[in-house]
Structures are given as structure tokens and as C-alpha cells.
A and B are shown apart, each in its own frame.
Chain A
């Protein structure tokens, strides 16, 4: 009797296998994963996806490094990918299992932080600039002075996202230095400028999309896609490209070395490299992705958005942030720690 029951159960399990088997734990930035994308993936593969949020690269690194996190996929920024790789936290990708690998756009196929894309595939890329509510300040917003030396209307109202690499890079560009500079004269100016500016800030916090939408924040250092989402809710919000220079960045998905659901993870990685699916990611978070041909599936508003299509006059000011040498990172961390006190 027992055998019959077991056999029946096995049969049933086989029949409904597509709906019941497999799960995947995705560890991603908060408010960054398209629910539509996940629904579609689950509908097609039967794999249940659990999403856990983090708010910074350091948080993600610390949690993954502690071990036993149970996550399968993580989405670090370009400058953190080498750190994850160096610490042995990411598994090299078996490209024979990724049939859509060739869909990665030529620009993003071989990148400095992950040569030949041995460890990660593109998730989204964008820019870091400033977001300003133009009903409060209608002057020139295409400058990092918005947060480094705010106009009178914005003094005491500026938020700065606590993302070290972006903020330090914006400030280095503002005082005329290059990304990853170790020039002490430049860095002294960076520190002094930040320390002086800090008094005119109201907070150093995330959650800018919601707060810009609800007018709780009127000026902040922000990412382009977040600003676009806020503008769709609140027409007064505008995005500024600092003409002194602003960072370009990309977040990429990597497979964790201690992933438990490796097969499911490969299915997901392959799935998001299909242009139609990559477009879903972008339509939700409002950043461009690195998959060729996904534009065709994007809504019209994305194709013309001033936050996504970089205006020609500011294109040259955008600079990709490389992974800085340890020495530079140490100096930046020292400045950052002093600032955050």
C-alpha cells in the first residue's frame, strides 16, 4: 500500500514538476527588480524566485562574505565585481549554459572590471547626477555645485545618497581631478569641499525615488532612473548632468560561489539576456540595460526620456568609474569616514 502511495506521489510530482520544482534566491538592490520579469520567469520555468534587498555594495559584500547567506545571484556595481571575484565569492560562468550570451551589446561584452564577462552579465547601467525640484530652484541644475555649494534656495534641503564611490567621484570631478586619483592636493580639496558642504545638507539617505515624488526632498544626489521614476510621479522633478563630470556605472549579475540553486540561476541568467526580458528590467527601474535589441521592446517614454538619453552637450562629461587601486580606495574611505561622522 505504502509503495503504491509513494509511486502515485512520484507520478504526480512528475506531472506537475514544472509548477513545483526549483527555487532561486536573488539578492539585489532595493526597488530594482521588475515584478513583471519575475512573474514571467516563474510562469515559463516554474521556478519560484525570492528577492532580498540591499542598499549598498558594502552591505551586500559583508552579508555574502559572512557565508551561508543562501543567496544564488547578486548584483554588485562594476567597481565591486573585482572585489567579489578576488575574495572568491563569485563562481566563473559556464558560458556553454548561457545560449543568449551573444545578446550582450558589444560595448558591454568585454569590460575592464570583468574581462570577457567571465563572472557577470549586465543588469542595468546608468549615470549619477543630481535631481532637483524645479518649483523650488529653477536655476542651472547641470552642475555638482547643487550639492557641493548649494544655491540659497536649496541650503539645508539637499540630500546626499550615502554611496561613497559616486559621491567622491562627483567631488573629484568638481575640483578638477580624475577618477581614482591619488593626488593628495586634489583629495585635500575634495575633503575640504565635502566637509564645508555637509552643513547645508539635510540628510544622507536612500529612498530618493519616493521622497522626490512626494516633495519630501527637493534636491539630492541621485541616479538617472530613480529620477525618471520620480518625475513620472511629480512633473517638477528634473535631472541634472553635472558638467564638471559625472560617473557612469553598471551593475552586473553574478553567480555566488556557494549558490544552492545553480541550475535555476543559469536559467535566470539566460532568461534576462533575451532582449524582450531585458526590456522589462529597464521598464521597471528606468535604467538602460546592456542587451542588444532590447530597445525595440521599450515603451516610447523611455526612448525619449531626458534622464535616459544623455543630451549631446553633456555626453563628454560622463566618465566610467574604474575599479580604483587599494591605495586610492583607502584614501577615499578615510575621507568618507570623516565625512560621515
Chain B
């Protein structure tokens, strides 16, 4: 009986002790989010800000557009194409990062401990430089009079520069470069724990090389793959700097589209509603992640 009371008071104490953190979390995390939700149900103010009148127009305009002149309503294919481009580019970025990241992580994990430390260190070097600078560096490489085109022209392979800058390809190159380390690190962590004796066992049981990879290696390092994919996919989806610099303001992604609403578009409610949509997509991706990774976890 005494022990029970003791435990209960300890639980209460724990609650009280964590109260400051909870309050902080509520104010700092939920507060701003709540403002975004409220703003998405208001009318745009003159030039900027919001007018405090309830309206679902912003949500309506995510999926539908009303013609400026005759008022006919149609599906907002322009918005949808921006969403589709964002999802498409993010998936492609994830795929590229995975294809490049898996052999890289495998290579690092199979070195001696000393060499491993050096390779991991090299992987983290790009993080020392600001993202914007790195993006401009990519721009310097792919622009019409940049490194790539000048080299190709001087080698006589092409006569006029290849237009890569300001295309979806440019955005893709930029994002794959920027987010690759986020794929390599979790993959490395997974491969590092992998018991290589299992591969020998696979071969002993007459599995082909492909069979070992597909049925032994990949299933075991799956949590690392899923974590890496999420770490690349989520920031890609919300990317702002890379498409802004390399996409030339015409090929927008969701992040740029949201920014546009708070700037030149002068429609804060629409910007807020779009932010919520992005948040929902990211949450859905995370939900899938927890489902997929827990299914495999022997403890869960």
C-alpha cells in the first residue's frame, strides 16, 4: 500500500517536473502552427497580412481556380502541377541518393575502423559550408558559361552550351548533391551493424549474389534504408533554396510557391493553407515510415 502511494506521487512529480517542457512545447510548437491554421481560414489583406473575416477561399483555391474574367471554376492544374513536380523531384532525389548512397555506405562500412573514421569525416565536410554557397557552386558548374559547358565546348563535344540551369534537371542535381549525406549516414549505421557471416551462410546455401543482396542484406538493413529515404524525401519536398536558385523562379516547388503567396502573391491565407497541405503530406510520409519500420522490428 505504502509502495503504491509512493509510486503515484512519483508519477505526479514527474508530471509536474515535465510541465515546463510541455508548456514550452505547446507554445513554441503548437502556437505558431495554430496561427497558420487560423490564417488559412481568413481573407487576404491589402498588399499583405490578413483581414479578420472567415473564409474558406484559400482552401478552395488549392484545388480549384476561378477565372479572373468570367468566373468559371476549373481544376487548378497550375497548383497541381507544382505539387506533382515537387513530389516527382523529391522521389527522384531520394532514388538517386539511394543508388549512390548504398555503395558509398557499403564501402565505408567495410573499411578498417581507422579508415572508416576518415571516410565518415569526409562525408560530413559539405555540412561545413552554407547551403546557399553550395547551391551557387552547383550553379557555377552547370551555367551556360560555367565549368561543364566550357569544358565540353573546349573538348569539341558540343558547339552551343547545353541549357541545364533553370530546368528541373538542375534542381534535381542540386537536391541530390545536397541531400546525399543524409542518405549515406543512416545506411552506414545499418550496414555497420550487419553481421557479414550471414552472407557466407547465404552462399553456403547456394544463394546467388543477387539472391543474397535481395533476400539477406536488404531486409536486414531495411530500417536504415527507410530512415535514409525519409531523411532525404522530407526536406526535398519542402526545399526552398535549391529550386529558388537553380530553378530560375519559373520552375517552382511547393516551398517557392508558398513564399510567393507571402510576397508578390499577397495572399497569406493561401500561403498558410499550402503550408498545411505540405505538413499533412510530410506527416503521411512519416506515418508510412513508422508502419514500415515497426513491421520489421522483432521487438515491436
Contacts and interface: CB of A to CB of B under 8 A. Distances in A.
A203 B68 contact: no
Given A58-B264, A202-B248, 14 more contacts: A58-B48, A61-B48, A162-B264, A187-B69, A191-B69, A198-B250, A203-B166, A203-B248, A204-B248, A215-B144, A216-B144, A333-B266, A335-B68, A338-B65
B82 interface: yes
Interface in B66-117: 68-69, 78-79, 81-82
A297 B168 CA distance: 48
Contacts of B145: 214-216
Contacts of B267: 337
A198 B251 CA distance: 11
B163 A156 contact: yes
A326 B78 CA distance: 26
Given A184-B69, A331-B68, A56 B47 contact: no
Interface residues of A, number: 36
Nearest to A163: B264
Contacts of B204: none
A131 B188 CA distance: 51
A201 B166 CA distance: 10
B263 A203 contact: no
A157 B163 CA distance: 9
Contacts of A216: 143-145, 165
Given A156-B163, A202-B248, A341-B257, A56 B264 contact: yes
B263 A62 contact: yes
Interface of A: 56, 58-59, 61-62, 65, 83, 87, 156-157, 159, 162, 164, 184, 187-188, 191, 198, 201-205, 214-216, 326, 331, 333-338, 340-341
A187 B67 CA distance: 12
Given A162-B249, A216-B143, A326 B46 contact: yes
B202 interface: no
Which among A191, A201, A216 has the highest number of chain B CB atoms within 10 Å?
Answer: A216
Nearest to B139: A216
Contacts of B69: 184, 187-188, 191
B196 to A, nearest CB: 50
A106 B46 CA distance: 33
Contact of A202 (B166, B264, B266): B166
A61 B163 contact: no
B248 A338 contact: no
Nearest to A65: B48
B179 interface: no
B68 A334 contact: yes
Interface string B124-149: 00000000000000000001110000
Contacts of B68: 187, 191, 331, 334-335, 338
Nearest to A334: B68
B140 to A, nearest CB: 11
Interface in B251-286: 252, 257, 260, 262-267
A336 B264 contact: yes
Contacts of A56: 263-264
A56 B163 CA distance: 27
B79 A341 contact: yes
Contacts of A338: 65, 68, 78
A156 B48 CA distance: 33
A61 B248 contact: no
A207 to B, nearest CB: 10
30 contacts: A56-B263, A58-B263, A58-B266, A59-B263, A65-B48, A83-B47, A156-B163, A157-B163, A159-B248, A184-B69, A188-B69, A202-B163, A202-B250, A203-B166, A203-B248, A203-B249, A204-B248, A205-B166, A205-B249, A216-B165, A326-B46, A333-B265, A334-B68, A335-B68, A337-B260, A337-B265, A338-B65, A340-B252, A340-B264, A341-B252
A22 B65 CA distance: 52
Contact of A62 (B81, B144, B262): B262
Contacts of B165: 216
B272 to A, nearest CB: 15
Nearest to B262: A62
Contacts of A331: 68
A94 B140 CA distance: 48
Contacts of B46: 326
Contacts of A58: 47-48, 263-264, 266
A109 B149 CA distance: 51
Contacts of A333: 264-266
Nearest to A217: B144
Contacts of A65: 48-49
A340 B144 CA distance: 24
A275 B171 CA distance: 47
A188 B264 CA distance: 20
Contacts of B49: 65
A208 to B, nearest CB: 12
Contacts of B79: 341
A340 B81 CA distance: 12
B106 to A, nearest CB: 39
Nearest to A162: B249
Contact of B264 (A164, A187, A201): A164
Nearest to A161: B249
A62 B248 contact: no
A61 B249 CA distance: 20
A219 B194 CA distance: 56
